[in-house]
Every structure is written in structure tokens, then in C-alpha cells.
Amino acid sequence: MPLLARTITTPLAVEVHAGALSHLGTLLADRRISAGGEVAVVVGPGVGKAAAERLRDGLSRAEIITITAGRHSDALELADKLRSRNFDAVVGIGGGRVIDTVKYASFRQGLPMVSVATSLANDGIASPVASLDRDGHSISYGAHIPIAVIVDLDFVRQAPIRQLRSGVGDALSNLSATADWQLSHDVTGEPIDGLAMALSRSSAEAVLRHPGELTDDDFLTSLADALILGGTAMAVAGTSLPCSGACHEIAHAVQENHPDAATHGEQVGVGALFATHLRGDSRMFEAMAATMKRHALPRTPGDIGLSVDEFTAAVAYAPRTRPGRYTILEHLNLDGSALRARITDFVDDLN
Ligand SMILES: [Zn+2]
């Protein structure tokens, strides 16, 4: 009997638990990523430093590099530094901005990257995408998926609560993104990948239905799993569609016009909730609205400091942030006044 299957690229190792970081040296050796510990350990100015200190005993040959993170130029600067020695791999320790900067710099240098997340603010921890600022715009660059992903709950538990809420927003947005992907498939014939869809949707459903509190280890594990599987879904599909639809178009538009309005995860959460309302999926809308309320995520334009008019302008502009993408926004193609009416309905339904 022929067993036909495809080969997919995923991290060699994924560890999500308290104390995971202390295994890093062993993991690098066991997985043949670096037998002698010749690695660059890259940290931001924040919590990564404390984490890197913990590694010193197990990784005495590592070079610790502190960077400023988040901009395309930061990644290029780091890529230059990585040329100075023959590293086996690069370990990025920190939040989303550090991880994305290290991911892109390692990719440019052709070095494997180990992602050590100290917060769970977005799905960049395991994705093949690096979001970096360039000339005032947030741009998504393709990169290699991390070779290993480590989430140490001892650090994540100490992350600011707002970062964890952001992670919940990014995870829940997959429920809206997969609905957009299905819509695009039905209407435009966009190819769909059932495995990527299943990974993204089922892991987001687990976060949606999880009864735990934001700081419970079992909830954080479910959240970490969802963000990692969302990243894996993008690698499986070869596109960000399993995790990015109207929710992300709206977030990119809000980000461009009101850069200080909210975090990425907060913006995509509001975007996903509004897109779900637009889609008329009342069961999903009520479930998402309840979960977001329970974890104190922003839900309305007002919650992220935008007036209805400002949010209307952002949503009207949203399709231009990702030309060629087909989501509920392009599908309905509402004009300004129709859009404003739908946004007013949306806000009313939440009050
Ligand atoms: Zn996202």
C-alpha cells in the first residue's frame, strides 16, 4: 500500500513549561544544533538579560549580544555582528520585537535561530515571518521558521499582563483569519490548505474555550501552543493566510494612522471581533466577545482610544494594506456611510 505524504518544515524542538530555559544547552547539543555551545545569544534591553544570565553556566562559550530591536535597520546591524565569528546558531531571547529582529538577522546570515520567548504577545515566536518597522511602516518579511522554540513559563508569568492579553488577541484572530481564508477559497478559488486550517483554528478554539485565568500555567500553555501552532500553520501553508485576514488588515491600518493606539494583539483582537460581526456569525461573535471581556481585552474602537469615525476611516483604508487579499472587507466592499453604520451596530451590540 503506498503511503504518500508531504514533508513539512517545523521546529526540531518545542518546549513549553516552567524552567524550560535551563535545558537550552542540553537541547542544543542533543538536537545537534550546537555541540560545543558556539552560539550567539541575542537579548534586548529588557527581561532577556536576566534570562541570558541563567544560561551562562550551561553555555560558557556563548557570546551575548545586546541589541535595540524592532526596526529593519536593527536586524541588518545584528546580521553584520553575526558575521564576526563562526556561530553554529543564534538564540534570540525576549519578546516579539527581539524575536523578529533576531529571526530576520539569522535568516539573512543563513544561521539557524532558536526562539526563546519571554512573553506571549504575538504569534511571531514560531512563525516564518518577521514584522519590522521600515520608514514608519510595519512590514512583514519572510524568514526561516525557528529551529527550536522554547517558552519558559517562569518568565512568561512575569510578563506585563497587557502582553499576555495581546497574545490572546493574536491567537483569537486566527478564528477570523481562517473564516476569511475559507471565504476567499469559496469566492475567488484561492487555494486552501486543510492541515494549516486545522492547526490554526483548533488551537485558537482551545484558547477561546479555556476556562482558566490569564496567569494560570495551564491557560498560558494553551496560549503558547496556539501561538506556536499558528506559526507552524503559516509554514505549512507557505502563506500568512491561516493567521491573517481582515483582522490584520484593520490592525495594520490602525497601526499606520494611530501608532500608539494599542499593541498588535489588541488591534487584531478588535479587528477580528468586528470582522466576525460583519460576517454575521453570531455564535462565534458572542463566544469571542465573552472571552475577550473575561480576559479584559479591548473590544471596541473606544477601548483602543479611537472614535467611531477614526475606526471607520481605518477600516475603509484596511484593504489597501494588503492588496490582493480577499477578506470579508473586500467581499462586502462597504462605502463610508454603510461601514460607519455597521461599526455603530457593532459597538451597540457590545454595550
Ligand atoms: Zn498577528
> What are the distances in angstroms from CA 237 to CA 107, 191, 196, 210?
19, 10, 6, 26
Q: How far is the CA of 288 from the centre of ligand 1 (A)?
A: 16
Nearest to 128 by CA among 268, 248, 236: 236
Residue 88: Cβ within 10 Å count: 17
Report yes or no on 235 lying in a domain.
no
Residues 139 and 195 in one domain: no
Instruction: Determine the structural domain holding residue 328 and report its residue range.
Output: 162-211+242-350
Report yes or no on 5 lying in a domain.
no
Give how far the C-alpha of residue 321 lies from the chain's centroid of Cα atoms, to the nearest Å. Answer: 18
- For residue 120, the SS3 value is coil
Query: According to the annotation, is 98 in a ligand binding site?
Result: yes
Residues 129 and 176 in one domain: no
Given the DSSP bridges, would you call strands 13-17 and 63-66 parallel, antiparallel or unpaired? unpaired
Given the DSSP bridges, would you call strands 13-17 and 137-142 parallel, antiparallel or unpaired? unpaired
Phi, psi for 94 (deg, rounded to 5): 155, -160
Q: How far is the CA of 211 from the centre of ligand 1 (A)?
A: 23
Q: How far is the CA of 36 from the centre of ligand 1 (A)?
A: 35
Residues 108 and 171 in one domain: no
Query: According to the annotation, is 39 in a ligand binding site?
Result: no
Residue 162: Cβ within 10 Å count: 17
Cell 534570540: give the residue: 92
Q: 297: domain CATH number?
A: 1.20.1090.10
Contacts of 99 (CB under 8 A, 6+ apart): 92, 115, 117, 124, 125
Q: How far is the CA of 223 from the centre of ligand 1 (A)?
A: 14
- For residue 53, the SS3 value is helix
Tell me what pLDDT residue 283 has: 97
In order along its 351 residues, the chain shows pLDDT tens digits of 677 888 888 999 999 999 998 889 899 999 999 988 899 999 988 766 777 777 777 788 899 999 999 999 999 999 999 999 999 999 999 988 999 999 999 999 999 999 999 999 999 999 999 999 998 788 889 999 999 999 999 999 999 999 999 999 999 999 999 999 999 999 999 999 999 999 999 999 999 999 999 999 999 999 999 999 999 999 999 999 999 999 999 999 999 889 888 999 999 999 999 999 999 999 999 999 999 999 999 999 999 999 999 999 999 999 999 899 999 999 999 999 999 999 999 999 998
Residues 149 and 166 in one domain: no
Query: According to the annotation, is 127 in a ligand binding site?
Result: yes
Q: DSSP character for 144?
A: P
Query: According to the annotation, is 123 in a ligand binding site?
Result: yes
Contacts of 87 (CB under 8 A, 6+ apart): 38, 39, 40, 63, 111
Residues 28 and 169 in one domain: no
d(CA 98, CA 29): 24
Query: According to the annotation, is 30 in a ligand binding site?
Result: no
Q: How far is the CA of 88 from the centre of ligand 1 (A)?
A: 29
Q: How far is the CA of 265 from the centre of ligand 1 (A)?
A: 6
Q: How far is the CA of 240 from the centre of ligand 1 (A)?
A: 9
- For residue 141, the SS3 value is strand
Residue type, 238: G
- For residue 212, the SS3 value is coil
Tell me what pLDDT residue 149 has: 97
Report yes or no on 197 lying in a domain.
yes
Residue type, 249: E
Report yes or no on 325 lying in a domain.
yes
Tell me what pLDDT residue 59 has: 82
Q: How far is the CA of 86 from the centre of ligand 1 (A)?
A: 33
Tell me what pLDDT residue 1 has: 67
- For residue 66, the SS3 value is strand
Nearest to 349 by CA among 341, 169, 170, 307: 341
Residues 314 and 186 in one domain: yes
Residues 98 and 190 in one domain: no
Tell me what pLDDT residue 143 has: 94
Nearest to 182 by CA among 200, 167, 169: 200
Residues 184 and 255 in one domain: yes
Residues 183 and 323 in one domain: yes
Q: 56: domain CATH number?
A: 3.40.50.1970
Report yes or no on 226 lying in a domain.
no
H-assigned helices in the chain: 24-30, 48-55, 72-81, 96-109, 153-156, 161-188, 194-209, 217-237, 246-257, 264-279, 282-294, 308-317, 328-332, 336-350
d(CA 65, CA 91): 10
Query: Please, are residues 172 and 140 in contact by the beta-carbon 8 Å criterion?
Result: no
Query: According to the annotation, is 264 in a ligand binding site?
Result: yes
Q: How far is the CA of 138 from the centre of ligand 1 (A)?
A: 12
d(CA 112, CA 87): 10
